[in-house]
Amino acid sequence: MSIHLSSEGQLRRVVLSCDVAGCPVQIEPPAIERWRSDADARSWARDHAGGWTSDPSRQTDYCTEHAAFSIAPVGGPIPPRPTAAARDSAGNPLNRDEYAALLRTQLDVTAPTGQPVLLTAAQAAVASQLLDELAGVYRGESLATLAHDLSVLMDRRRSA
């Protein structure tokens, strides 16, 4: 794994190593709170490593010099990306990109009475934050973009 976690003291230290064979480049982004999960610490480090890129499907990280290695080959097969919870009628996970497209089309449909369903400000804020978490998990995918767009729509206090 290219990320090393240690929880010495009050902060969790994360070190990213470039995954290109023979590349000695490492970076240590700012530390994060000790109580954060490993996945959250990895995400934090990747978000705060300026110029670095990652390939979520291969769980690899690349320094600025080798950033092109995180780009999938053009025309190559796209590995399946199943949903974690959404299933079809047979119980099989859905493709995340197809699921995101289906959800986007549902956004255009109004409630049966023709009136939109309203949430309280607190409900919208909580839903917005949950959508941001989803966007962080599926970073770089169409499902993440949809989650982020809807989160911003629900919480108009911030910009896209």
- Looking only at the bridges linking them, the beta strands covering 32-33 and 11-17 are antiparallel
Which residues, 6 or more positions from 27, have their beta carbon under 8 angstroms from its beta carbon? 15, 16, 49, 52, 63
pLDDT of residue 141 exceeding 70, the answer is yes
pLDDT of residue 49 exceeding 80, the answer is yes
For the beta carbon of residue 159, count every other beta carbon within 10 angstroms. Answer: 5
Structural domain boundaries in the chain:
3-68, 83-154
pLDDT of residue 100: 87
pLDDT of residue 19 exceeding 50, the answer is yes
pTM for this model (two decimals): 0.46
